[in-house]
Amino acid sequence: MRLIIAEKPSLARAIAEALPERQGRVEGAIVAGETTVTWCLGHLLEQAPPDAYDPAFKAWRLDHLPILPGRWKLTPRPKARSQLAVIRRLLKGASEVIHAGDPDREGQLLVQEVIEHLGWQGPVSRLLVSDLNRPAVQRALGRIEDNGRFLPLYRAAQSRARADWLYGINLTRAWTLTGRQAGHDGVLSVGRVQTPVLGLVVRRDAEIRDFAPRPFFVLWADLAVARGRLRAWWVPGETHPLDDQGRLLAREPAAALATRLPGAEGRLAALETRDKRQAAPLPYSLSALQVDAARRFGLSAKAVLDICQRLYERHKLITYPRSDCRHLPEEHWAAARSTLEGACGADAPLRGWLAGADFSRRSKAWNDKRVGAHHALAPTGKCADLSRLEKAEGDVFRLIARNVLAQFYPPLATREVKAEFTLLGECFRARGQEVLEPGWKPLFSTRDEAPPLPPLSEGEACRVLEAGVEDRETRPPEPFTDASLIKAMMNIGRYVEDPAVRRTLREHDGLGTEATRAGIIETLLERGYLVRRAKALRATRLGSALIASLPEAVGRPERTALWEQRLGAIAEAGDDPAPFVAALIEDLHGLLAAADAGRLRQALAQARGEEAPSPGRGKPASRRRGAPARGRRRSPGASRGKGSRS
């Protein structure tokens, strides 16, 4: 018997329906001839709790830390025992096993850990399915690979799970017990990803809170030129009081010049014209889609992920959604016309966009070198009757289809004009943009662009019709939203202060993964560290106090971003995981030594707005027995399911 183990029931059904043999149902599986298809339910196994290694660890005590498993153990998840028993029984009669986890790091771990936990010693192949429609699954079944090729992916995911356990269990217990000594009654959860994300929000909130607005002043002049009129802005010289961005800090020079300008004549001293061509935005990765859907429709990151899962599993309208890639396989280009015609024919806006597509065009989106285990989100070709979808599902599907359709539109062609005028010996500048060819732009926006400048010739005369001074103020940074926080997690190098570390980070290295970023935000909300106010995400007093009490490095992204880079090296280059885990353990010893009841007491008091204790840091927490009085006894650092991040 050939046994296929899928990641979830929906994938198992899609695989079984693509097999040529007649199907029959048995408990926990589908039989099709000599092939049996069974499934996991997400993670069937999870990292064992500390007391599985030593019963004494059931009590939370500082003198137990750090807890460092010798031989790692997995334990069945409570609701998964019956399905695990089904797979155990089927393995006894199998001659070959096919691993059909999702095509990503966590999907590789999810099925393979079950195969190894149940002691299978026979051959294992790998089936990669990114589209649940029958033709796509049939093509995937014709390209089954050796699972050995994906062992580095498994080792990286396994290392991630163990690192999360070590970091989350030890630091959560340390800060929870220290919190009890500081007077806080409850669990203080610390994790290698969630805590740096919380730190981003806490620091942004502090910038907003501490921001002191400064006035600045701008002077404009409406000019008559040979073939029209335009507005130009004064560029004050260095003899005037300016800030580091060249903004004028005193009103008097602008006001004095404004009174002299009406009726003054000058000339166009310099003219620069530049034609630009901009290709369409690439198809979406999950995070890029979450950013756009949050901005356009106000959807949370988790809502977008859930919608994509329904579009993928239930409706079979899109390809695998948990992708970090924005490119498509080159072989998909030839079938793109039929795919998009099939997907878009039942929706009026999509039909309109489809009618303008030129399928002889080939954009840079089709690039095998940029496609890894999965490709960008795209329609599957199944007809999308959006009237039968929830509104948010239809909105998200249109975004996904639009970005693929846009690859068959011409570039946006614009002409940018920069003009510099001399008036009363002073410099005034104007900018304008003219759309030469709208290309793909109408698919993305129906808003009118800023009007272009009238036709200009260098050296021509101009005359001031009117002038005025505007009083403005510097503005604080905007609070994080789902969109901007997801974008920050994607591009975490921008928030790294250490230049040496920043140089080691590639632009695409980030906090979390496509599959976990939405969950990280929701976890911080559920644990009371963040609160959502309208669209803004703000840190609570407890969240701010936790960050203030931790060593600075725990709440900053540098360590975690570098960890993701090392995990990437394990997955992509086959690096040995042992040095990564060893470095983490060494790091833990130093972090645990920093647990400080005095510092935490002060941070909690300041968060409550109380008079803070003595500014002295206090004595390090004693290694006495203690456990959290209320809250979950189990550390949030333990693995909780696919893609969990503590």
Fold of 215-279+412-473: Topoisomerase I; domain 3 (2.70.20)
Question: Which CATH code, of 1.10.1740.10, 1.20.1090.10, 1.10.290.10, 3.20.20.140, is assigned to 290-363+378-408?
Answer: 1.10.290.10
Q: At residue 382, does pLDDT exceed 90?
A: yes
Sequence spans of domains, the chain: 2-143, 157-210+478-607, 215-279+412-473, 290-363+378-408
- Quick check: 622 pLDDT over 50? no
Can you tell me which residue has the tokens 């590789």?
A: 108
Instruction: Assign 611 a pLDDT band (cuts: 50, 70, 90).
Output: very low
Helical pair 286-297 and 517-526, crossing angle rounded to 10 deg: 60
Report the percent of the chain where pLDDT is more than 90: 79
pLDDT of residue 564: 80
Distance of alpha carbon 557 from the chain centroid: 14
How far is the C-alpha of 16 from the C-alpha of 24, rounded, in Å?
10
Over residues 207-227, the mean pLDDT reads 97
Strands 530-533 and 536-539: antiparallel
- Taking phi over 0 as left and psi of -120 to 50 as alpha, with beta for the rest, 304 belongs to alpha
Q: Is residue 620's pLDDT more than 90?
A: no
In this prediction, residue 555 carries a pLDDT of 95
What CATH class is the domain 157-210+478-607?
A: mainly alpha
| Per-residue confidence band for 559, with pLDDT thresholds at 50, 70 and 90 | confident
Instruction: State how far the Cα of 59 lies from the Cα of 558, in Å rounded to an integer.
Output: 32
The CATH architecture that domain 2-143 belongs to is 3-Layer(aba) Sandwich (3.40)
Q: How confident is the model at residue 132 (pLDDT cuts 50, 70, 90)?
A: confident
Model pLDDT, residue 157: 94
**Rounded to 5 degrees, what angle do the CA atoms 414, 419, 420 make?**
160
Kindly state the average pLDDT of the residues 364-369: 93
Tell me the residue type at 619.
Answer: K
The model's confidence at residue 636, banded by pLDDT at 50, 70 and 90, is very low
Considering only residues 123 and 609, tell me which one the structure prediction assigns the higher pLDDT.
Answer: 123
Q: How confident is the model at residue 318 (pLDDT cuts 50, 70, 90)?
A: very high
- Confidence band, pLDDT 50/70/90 cuts, at residue 55: very high
Q: Which two tokens stand for residue 130?
A: 């990114």
Rg of the Cα atoms in the chain: 30
Residue 575: is its pLDDT beyond 60?
Answer: yes
> Is pLDDT at 22 greater than 90 in this prediction?
no
Question: What pLDDT shows up at residue 617?
Answer: 38
In whole angstroms, give the CA distance from residue 457 to residue 462: 11
pLDDT over threshold 60, residue 237: yes
Range with lowest mean pLDDT among 63-72, 443-452, 512-521: 443-452
pLDDT on residue 309: 95
* Alpha carbons 72 and 92: distance in angstroms, whole number: 25
Q: How far apart are the first and last CA of the chain?
A: 39
Does the structure show a pLDDT above 50 at 631?
no
Q: What is the pLDDT of residue 610?
A: 54
pLDDT of residue 494: 86
Q: Do residues 47 and 74 make contact, with C-beta atoms less than 8 angstroms apart?
A: yes
Catalytic residue among 154, 320, 409, 495: 320
Peptide linkage before 253 cis (omega within 30 of 0): no
- In this predicted structure, the answer to whether residue 623 has a pLDDT above a threshold of 70 is no
Task: Say what percent of the chain tops pLDDT 70.
Answer: 92
Residue 508 has pLDDT above 70, yes or no: no
Query: What's the token pair of residue 539?
Result: 């840190």
Q: Tokens 């303008």 belong to which residue?
A: 356
| Nearest CA-CA partner of 188 in 168, 203, 206, 162 | 168
* Helix/strand/coil for 436: strand
Q: How many Å apart are CA 280 and CA 287, to the nearest integer?
A: 18
pLDDT: which is higher, 622 or 240: 240
Q: What is the pLDDT of residues 330-357, one digit of tens each?
A: 989 999 999 999 999 999 999 999 999 9
Q: Cα separation of 602 and 619, whole Å? A: 12
Per-residue pLDDT for 470 more than 80?
Answer: yes
The per-residue pLDDT for range 170-198, each reduced to its tens digit, is: 999 999 999 999 999 899 999 999 999 99
The DSSP result for 494-527, as a single string, is GG---HHHHHH--TT--SS-TTTHHHHHHHHHHT
Mind listing the pLDDT tens digit for each residue in 272-296? 999 999 999 999 999 999 999 999 9
At 513 the pLDDT is 83
Indicate the average pLDDT of the chain.
90
**What value does the mean pLDDT take over residues 436-458?**
87
What does the alpha-carbon distance between residue 546 and residue 151 come to, in Å, rounded to a whole number?
Answer: 38
Q: Look at residue 300 in the predicted model and tell me its pLDDT.
A: 95
**Is the confidence at residue 625, as pLDDT, over 90?**
no
Write out the two tokens for 232.
């130009």
Question: In sequence order, which residues have a C-beta less than 8 Å from that of residue 355 and are 6 or more positions away?
Answer: none
Q: Active site includes 320?
A: yes
pLDDT score, position 105: 86
DSSP 99-139: EE--SSHHHHHHHHHHHHHTT--S-EEE---S--SHHHHHH
Those residues with Cβ within 8 angstroms of residue 379's Cβ, 6 or more apart along the chain or in another chain = 317, 318, 319, 339, 340, 343, 344, 397, 400, 401, 404
